[in-house]
A and B are shown apart, each in its own frame.
Chain A
Amino acid sequence: MASENAYSPQDPTLKKRDDFEDVLEERRNSSDVKYAFRCYTPVLYNGIPPCKASLLKHTVLKSDHVLFVIQQLSKESGESPEIIHEEAVEILDEMAQNLKLSVVRFFAFMLSKAFKTLFQRVRVNEEGIQRLQQAIQQYPVVLLPSHRSYIDFLMLSYVLYTYDLSLPVIAAGMDFLGMKIVGEMLRMSGAFFIRRSFGGDKLYWALFSEYVKTMLRKGYAPIEFFLEGTRSRTCKSLVPKLGLLNIVMEPFFKGEVFDVSLVPISISYERILEESLYAYELLGVPKPKESTSGLLKARKILSDDFGSIHVYFGHPVSLRSLAQGKISRSYCNLVPRHIPVKPPKDIFTFVNDIGYKMVRLQQENMVISPWVLVASILIQSLPQIDINHLTEQTVWLRNLAQSFGAFVDWPDHISVSKVVASSISLHHSIVKNTGGRVTLIEEKQDSSNLEHQLFKYAATVLMCASYRNQILHIFVRPALVAISVHSVGSSRKEEIFSYFSFLRDIFSHEFIFAPGHTVQDFEEGCYLLMKADAIQILKTDILLSERGHKIVSFFLAMFQPFLEGYQVICRYLSEEALEGVTENQYVSAVRKFAVKLLLSGAVKSCEVLSSDLQKNALAALLKLNICRKTKEMEQVVVKVNRTAVNSVEDTLGRKLTPLKTALARL
């Protein structure tokens, strides 16, 4: 490698991945009842059997930690400890799981039926299962699945039951409890419920963290939670939430367990059940509260085909090895361990790094279906594309993605055009092929309300985008380098790098970048582009090659919605939000602003309407101190630094040098 930096990325195509087995195959050939009632004897950590729910609650309530916090709260508030204790009992009753094998068996039966109608295949890497089985016996295990659908944790428990592994206890959002019977049934299949926000509630935090830590310390069962905190509506990985991660790591920091195994799990859907629901949610149609009747209505979904699911169990990561030499655990030494201590900064940074690392490991083993490639091409060529051209481009993109290390699930024995055709027909809710022209589905509607029409169209675009999004993590580093090479108008490496790191900062909530790894990310991007013959790296310069032209313009088009979207948001902030905008109004205000621009034709991409993009942009600007939050009259108001926002907008829109000039230097 010509790069002077010592960091040399590994060739991603060399990464070895396991093979998959279809767990539904056996279900289609044998009795579901028998399956549900079969002997279930999972291996256990240290041979410890799962603990009775009541005993677990008792242990938590009597723990030094909880007693200490109750004592402290009582002193602060003047409330008697008994009353706080009762409150604690209630909280715990609301929270606690109540794993019952009979309910698990019932679920096993029901889910077998449901999955068989919904999905063609549920494919699992069995080697991963074996690794997990070993890990479970050694140390407490934390399962970290990606979160794209409600199906995720049902599916995971189902797979673990199928392979005779310990069922996990799962941290679920409180909103599930709204679903009367189902909520309780989920509880009995191992879910425990946490409130979405309990900011300053010390008692809640103490109970919740002690509850999780007790299960972990005793090793009763693997603990499962979603690092991303919520389902990703865009199918891009979300920036990790650190609350629960902190809690499960604490017993290790305090020496209460020797080690903890973190197991990243990637669950990839060929077609997501909630695809249209997500799109409308992103566009601002309020999320329907989960209700049992809503779920019953979802029955009509059951008649549809949702393709395959891939569940990939990654290598268990030893927390101990991650911490080796990185942190000092001695900060816990001077206070009895049941008294909560605020960890020092290096611990916080460490947990944050691990959060990102685990999300990236999830991404690494995400399976990319052919449809993801098709959608990526299609969304760049709206309103329509010729089927042959689409097929040709899809193959080109497949090869590029594979050479960048993507885990593409491309069937070997079927012709390319058939693969594309079957992808299109599976996703008939988004796309159609009429006479060789592939277009997005457009519902018939009265054309009187332009805005309404725009939203309908945008919903389909966002659905399509949610599939393209599944491959962005493969391309984001080389793409940002390519965009930098294109936009900077100079071949000087340091200028390109500085633009790259600007983009990386601006998109820090849009894509997953490990904090502090700017140089590595840049090197990785350069390396991949060089491997694809797109650029040439000299000592101080980076030059675009002939072949690079196509790749660069492809990447530009691929990331255009984000570049454009962020510019729109900057414009909004500098033109309409100078007096500040309350946090609550921000999304709707941006949406209104964007709709105007879209209708006038000044902006092309509908993705700016996505509230996810809007929130990510704001989060990044806040982090960069370009905006800041203040509290005014009980409301959080976002204040804008106009010069800084304008400069971001200009920098994003920078295309000083046409592509030709860069080429001429070669």
Chain B
Amino acid sequence: MPDDSTNCFVYIFTFLNRQDLLKWNGWGYSDSKFIFNKKGQAEFTGKRYRLSGMVLPALREWFEKTFGASLEHKTPPRSALNTSDIPAPILNEDFLDDLKATKIPFSHEIEDRIFRAHGHCLHEIFALREGKFERVPDMVVWPSKYPNNKSILSFGVKYFIFTLTGGTSVSSALECPPDEKRSIVSLDTSQMLNVSGYCTGHEPDSMEFSTLGGWVATRASGMKKNIYGNIEDLVVHIRMVTPRGVIEKSCQGPRMSTGPDVHHFIMGSEGTLGVVTEVTIKIRPVPEYQKYGSVEVAKQRCAPASIRLMDNAQFQFGHALKPQVASIFTSFLDGLKKFYITKFKGFDPNQLCVATLLFEGDREKVLQHEKQVYDIAAKFGGLAAGEDNGQRGYMLTFVIAYLRDLGMDFYVIGESFETSVPWDRVLDLCRNVKERIVRECKERGVQFPPLSTCRVTQTYDAGACVYFYFAFNYRGIADPIHVYEQIESAAREEILANGGSLSHHHGVGKLRKRWLQEAISDVGIGMLKSVKQYVDPNNIFGNRNLL
């Protein structure tokens, strides 16, 4: 996180040229990344995050031990874009003329197009690093300053196809269909949301870079949903422009019984129906008080703003991100803590798992809540493990994508994926999916044991959201991305067989399309199809997500 205050503040950016600030072939800000410095120690560059500028002495050992990776074996990305690699844009002169007349800004510069040609799936980033492109948008349009989006759509009929940008998709939602012959126009709809002193409380892991429209389009979920709710709970009103016309509700009543909620056609439509031009969401005053916490080994039934339960592998991962301590005293204290936990309490560091907690609200309530949680934890043999551990747990969330870029410099590729599952199946699902990953890796010739770890990131009355991290060292494998995809799809099959859902909040995109029918039944598919058929008969929003 940039600094603590951003937790509750502004997160959406409007850049005319986002690529000036952000990496074109990796995650996040250009100035922020993990490197191994001259001493061979890991370091996080830049100034934006708490971790920025710090040395992380344990990371290298963890990295080498976990993946069997070595700093000698490098796989650096292409340093610059080779313009000749990019297919020439397919442009439609009529459309260009019309567009010029409206004075809506647009571009067909290569950088603009490449930047909007992908999400953050492993294969997309891998292709960028290798400089391979199949089909990218032919032009980018910034309509947001011109609320009358309808005009663009009216040009679009019969000629064009749109994809929308959020940029942080992990479902191949932004991938352009390679066989699309029409001109692909990418609408950049990043918007500003900036009212100081208030917050929405919606904090997905990608919140620095994702957009409100993206949240709505994918049915996003934020980590503090226990207090604030998921996107569907936050939204009061949506306006969407479709090829058929504008869809919106007539008022802002907090709940209505007017047949099936039309918002639910929009939320999760993944850009297949239209452009969301306006969203009204609830905001709340910035919470007075915030406190992190953590519990080692615990099961509980009480809901802080956010609770996450990590397995042992992730606990160790988190520890690898401990920055170098400034004073001998802290280091001594750390040693003492470790001694207390492992020797005195008899916890095995190879079996420890940790729940990270975040409490929010007025001070009194937070403290009361905190006590309640720790009492429950103690009942189940858990041990309060301090604010520091808690905060580090959440930090992992924000830097994990940067870490993947580091891994990719050294033959390590990985990805996260998620599911939701009823409580009684959580443990079995976690064990089976992790084991399936390990087994598939072995069967597909991966030479080193993979990192296969999970955590519970969201809790509900009826179940939980489980997040998996899976990464492996691909030295010795000819087509690592293909192997990776086969394993991820095996893992997804395992999830489905164990009663998990196709997705909790990442969405379907193109990556998980093939399972959608099984997930929502034939009639369900038929319903979605007929909505699409009515709303967008010419398939202008032809990103081919979902259906």
Contact = CB atoms under 8 A, between A and B. Distances in A.
Asked if A and B bind, the verdict is: yes
Given A328-B497, A330-B496, A330-B497, A255 B424 contact: no
Interface string A220-254: 00000000000000000000000000000000001
- Point out which of A329, A333, A337 has the most chain B C-beta atoms below 10 A from its C-beta: A333
Nearest to A251: B428
Nearest to A64: B424
B180 interface: no
Interface residues of A, number: 11
B428 A256 contact: yes
A332 B435 contact: no
Given A256-B428, A337-B425, A332 B436 contact: no
B429 interface: yes
Contacts of B425: 255, 337
A264 to B, nearest CB: 22
Contacts of A255: 425, 428-429, 432, 497-499
Contact of B435 (A254, A258, A336): A258
A332 B499 contact: yes
Given A255-B425, A337-B424, A337-B425, A329 B497 contact: yes
Q: Is the interface of B mostly helix, strand, loop or mixed?
A: helix
Contacts of B435: 258
B432 A258 contact: yes
Q: Is the interface of A mostly helix, strand, loop or mixed?
A: loop
Contacts of B498: 255, 329
B345 interface: no
Contacts of A328: 497
A253 to B, nearest CB: 9
Nearest to B499: A333
Nearest to A336: B424
Interface in A329-377: 329-330, 332-333, 336-337
A328 B431 CA distance: 19
Contacts of B499: 255, 330, 332-333
B351 to A, nearest CB: 12
A529 B398 CA distance: 69
Contacts of A332: 499
Interface string B481-516: 000000000000000111100000000000000000
Interface string A314-338: 0000000000000011101100110
Given A255-B432, A258-B432, A258-B435, A330 B424 contact: no
Contacts of B436: 258
A213 to B, nearest CB: 13
- Point out which of B431, B435, B497 has the most chain A C-beta atoms below 10 A from its C-beta: B497
Contacts of A258: 431-432, 435-436
B457 to A, nearest CB: 20
- Point out which of A254, A255, A329, A333 has the most chain B C-beta atoms below 10 A from its C-beta: A255
B518 interface: yes
Interface string B430-451: 0110011000000000000000
Contacts of A330: 496-497, 499, 518
Interface in A236-283: 254-256, 258
A555 to B, nearest CB: 43
- Point out which of A258, A329, A330, A332 has the most chain B C-beta atoms below 10 A from its C-beta: A258
Contacts of B496: 330
B102 to A, nearest CB: 50
A34 to B, nearest CB: 38
Contacts of A337: 424-425
Given A255-B425, A330-B497, A336-B422, 5 more contacts: A255-B428, A255-B429, A256-B428, A330-B518, A332-B499
8 contacts: A255-B428, A255-B499, A330-B496, A330-B497, A333-B499, A336-B422, A336-B424, A337-B425
